[in-house]
Each structure stands twice: as structure tokens, then as C-alpha cells.
């Protein structure tokens, strides 16, 4: 595949400098396939200060507004708690039939006396995990979430450690969790992008448990409560997730909907009212389903490009995706789609087939629409001694050249 190198890559560094490879042939393909006439409809105007709209299958970002700005999550923090609990169940450490006792702390902090969202769990009663899950999801019960956290980790502090470990595992970079339920805590923060990642993870990895989010109501202690997700009644194809509110964070919502086999995920943070957050989410979902279509960029196993190797049997490793690589593009628009391969280098041989080596960044215009990992399509063993010596000498020379260039640049600007 033809390729050109960015200035950052033309002189490799001795340290792990970020490498960027422009996919020249891919760009030409994009120019031929995706340069489209003007958008029939511009992006929708929403009132919320932070939002994101993402395609579930490809991970393409269709719309974002301050998506990496931190905000208090309120009850949508429960999605991180539920991701931890779902994993405990799926990996066999927790049974849906296990019963947890309702502590006085859970009852006072999140139950009927608290005045907040609750499943009305009775003090000192024992409740099955399966019922607690419904109590945490459908009416967004704070008591249910605390009971689950205490049952798994002994207390909320211990459970929050699990939440942050799972957040790190999922690659969340803007979130910090300090309780299981989303009640006010000055250090508890998240972003629209991180919440979309959690939502994607739950749908993809726990599809059976995700079905609970679409249940319309929940009966407990002779009290029937409706699902708090307003999108479920909007004829959008919505089937899950929840809302949250804190005075310091505003009205939040995470939702997902399916139309014509396409699933979108929407996150709204910081709305001024329940009506505003629901209307913003509706606007984004309707616009996303109406305005975009999926395009296949690379088939499963198709070679995307090559990562430069150091000390290998050959100088590069072919790269491919972990599956098909798709991106959503406007049904009509003038946005040009381009792509770059990025990797930290030099990459030392040997590399194993399936080893993640790089990332493919796909842009619609100036917006990063998609970032997907790239893996080695085949193994490349370590090269012979003479090859490693030549590569070592090359890296030494260009490293010195880069240092000299940096000093000259510094002197010129001082």
C-alpha cells in the first residue's frame, strides 16, 4: 500500500515518539467514494452544554459537544456500578439468586427515608440480586445500588475501588467514581464520551442483562414504579439506559435506540430540565437515524497498512482490524473522509500475530469520527544479528539528528 510519512515520522526518535502514517491510497479511495454534495440538513441545535451521539456498531461519533468536559453524573453513575455487577454475574462470582440484607445505611441513605429515587427496600429484609438489579435500573433506586455494593464489597468505598478499576479497564479517561449510586460527591465526575463507552460496553458484553433496561415498570413493597427513561415512550426504537440529576450537574440522560438494524447511543449532560434533556436526546437520535449511512472501509482480515519495525526479519508488520471496519458518513454532504495510522515507535521485533500495534483514526472533515485498534496480521520474528545491528545504528544516527534539530530550533526561537 502506498503511504506518505508525516514530518514527525520522517526522522525517527530514540524515545517512543508518536508516529503518524497517512494512508495515501486510502485517502484517494475516500476522495473518490465519500466527497458528497452539501448536507441537506445541518447539525441539530441542542441546549445541553455537553452531549455525544455515537453509532454502536462502528463507534463512529456523529455529533459531539464538549464531550470530554467533566460533569457530576448523578444517577447515571449507576451504569458504572451495573457494569461491575454484570461482570461479577457473567464471570460466575455472583448469582442472581444470591440474597443481600438491607443495612440501615442503605435504607437511610438511599431508601424511603432519603426522599430520593428508591425501590422501597425494607430495613433488615433480604432481597435477591435479580430483584435488586431491577430496583437499581427501572426506578433508579439508590437503596438497591447501595445494597448491591455492600453485598459485593462490604461497603461503598470498597465497591468504588472496583468501579474505578473497571473504568480504567474500559479506557475511560475523564471519570472518577466515589459511590455506587450517583449521590452528590465533589470528586465524582464523568464525561459524555465516557458514558457512551460504558453504554456500548454493557450492550455488547451483557446483552441479556441489558434487556432489564427496557422493562416498563417495577413492583416492590406493593408500590409500582414506571421506568424513568423518557425515550422509551417516544416511538424512537429506544430500549434502554437511564436518567440522572444533581443540582451541581443538571439533568443527565444516557439512551440507546435501534432503527432499521442500526443502533445509536446518545448522552446528554447538564440539561436545565427533564423536558430539555429528553428533547435534546430525541433531536439527536432522529437526526442521526435520518442523516447517516454505514460504509464498509475494510473487510475482516484486509490489510490496512504497515507499522515500521526495528530489529525484525523485515522492516514492517502488516496491519489489519480486529473485524470489519465501518464508518458512518452523511447520506448527503461535503465532508471528506480521510484516515491515519498511528503507532508508538520504533516497534521492536518480534511481534506476534494478533498483537495490537497501532490505531486507525478516521476523520470526517476535521472531526475525529472513529478510532479503532489495528493488530499484526502475521507474526514477524526477530531478525539476524546483522539486521539488528544496522537498525540499531540507524536509530542511533537519526536520534542524534533529531536532538541536533531540536537544539537548532530552540536556539532559533530563543
As annotated, the active-site residues are 75, 78, 140
Residue the block writes with cell 448527503: 332
- Name 308's bridge partners: 316
- Name 351's bridge partners: 380
Question: Residues 2, 24: contact at Cβ < 8 Å?
Answer: yes
- Name 17's bridge partners: 345
- Cα distance between residue 42 and residue 31, in whole Å: 21
Exposure class string for 253-289: b at 16+ Cβ within 10 A, else e: bbbbbeeeebbbbbbbbbbeeeebbbbbbbbbbbbbb
Residue 314 DSSP label? S
- Cα distance between residue 126 and residue 122, in whole Å: 8
- Cα distance between residue 376 and residue 378, in whole Å: 5
| String of DSSP letters for 187-248 | T-BB-HHHHHHHHHHHHHH-HHHHGGGG--EEEETTEEEE---GGGGTTS-EEE--EEEETT
| String of DSSP letters for 38-92 | --SSPPPP--SSEEEEEETTT--EEEEESTT--B--GGGGHHHHHHHHHHHHHTT
Helix-, strand-, coil-residue percentages of the chain, each rounded to 5: 35, 30, 35
- Name 83's bridge partners: none
Question: Residues 89, 209: contact at Cβ < 8 Å?
Answer: yes
| String of DSSP letters for 96-158 | TT-EEE--HHHHHHHSGGG-SS---PPTT-EEEHHHHHHHHHSS--HHHHHHHHHHHHSSHHH
- Name 368's bridge partners: 363
Q: Chain-centre distance of CA 174, in angstroms?
A: 11
Amino acid at each position: 500500500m502506498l503511504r506518505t510519512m508525516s514530518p514527525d515520522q520522517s526522522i525517527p526518535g530514540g524515545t517512543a515518539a508518536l508516529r503518524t502514517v497517512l494512508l495515501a491510497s486510502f485517502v484517494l479511495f475516500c476522495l473518490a467514494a465519500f466527497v458528497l454534495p452539501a448536507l441537506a440538513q445541518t447539525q441539530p441545535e441542542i441546549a445541553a452544554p455537553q452531549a455525544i451521539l455515537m453509532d454502536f456498531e462502528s463507534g463512529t461519533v456523529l455529533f459531539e459537544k464538549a464531550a470530554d468536559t467533566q460533569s457530576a453524573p448523578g444517577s447515571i453513575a449507576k451504569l458504572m456500578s451495573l457494569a461491575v455487577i454484570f461482570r461479577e454475574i457473567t464471570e460466575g462470582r455472583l448469582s442472581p439468586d444470591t440474597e443481600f440484607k438491607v443495612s440501615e445505611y442503605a435504607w437511610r441513605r438511599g431508601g424511603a427515608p432519603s426522599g430520593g429515587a428508591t425501590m422501597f427496600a425494607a430495613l433488615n429484609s433480604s432481597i435477591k440480586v435479580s430483584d435488586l438489579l431491577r430496583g437499581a435500573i427501572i426506578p433508579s433506586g439508590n437503596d438497591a445500588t447501595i445494597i448491591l455494593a455492600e453485598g459485593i464489597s462490604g461497603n461503598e468505598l470498597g465497591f468504588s475501588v472496583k468501579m474505578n478499576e473497571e473504568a480504567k479497564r474500559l479506557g475511560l479517561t475523564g471519570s472518577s467514581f466515589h459511590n455506587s449510586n450517583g449521590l452528590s460527591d465533589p470528586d465524582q465526575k464523568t464525561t459524555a464520551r465516557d458514558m457512551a463507552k460504558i453504554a456500548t460496553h454493557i450492550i455488547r458484553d451483557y446483552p441479556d442483562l441489558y434487556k432489564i433496561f427496557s422493562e416498563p415498570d417495577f413492583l416492590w413493597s406493593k408500590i409500582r414504579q414506571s421506568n424513568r427513561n423518557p425515550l422509551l415512550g417516544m416511538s424512537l426504537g429506544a430500549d434502554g439506559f437511564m436518567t440522572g440529576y444533581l443540582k451541581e450537574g443538571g439533568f443527565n440522560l444516557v439512551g440507546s435506540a435501534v432503527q432499521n438494524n442500526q443502533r445509536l447511543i446518545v448522552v446528554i449532560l447538564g440539561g436545565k430540565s427533564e423536558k430539555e434533556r429528553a428533547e435534546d436526546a430525541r433531536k439527536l437520535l432522529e437526526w442521526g437515524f435520518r442523516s447517516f449511512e454505514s460504509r464498509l472501509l475494510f473487510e475482516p482480515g484486509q490489510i490496512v497498512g504497515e507499522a515500521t519495525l526495528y530489529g525484525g526479519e523485515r522492516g514492517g508488520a502488516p496491519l489489519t482490524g480486529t473485524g470489519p471496519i465501518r464508518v458512518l458518513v452523511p447520506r448527503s454532504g461535503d465532508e471528506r473522509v480521510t484516515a491515519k495510522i498511528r503507532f508508538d515507535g520504533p516497534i521492536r521485533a518480534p511481534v506476534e500475530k494478533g498483537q495490537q500495534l497501532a490505531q486507525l483514526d478516521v476523520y470526517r472533515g476535521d472531526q475525529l469520527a472513529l478510532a479503532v485498534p489495528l493488530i499484526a496480521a502475521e507474526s514477524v520474528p526477530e531478525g539476524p544479528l546483522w539486521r539488528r545491528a544496522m537498525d540499531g545504528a540507524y536509530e542511533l544516527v537519526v536520534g542524534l539528528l533529531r536532538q541536533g534539530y531540536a537544539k537548532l530550533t530552540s536556539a532559533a526561537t530563543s
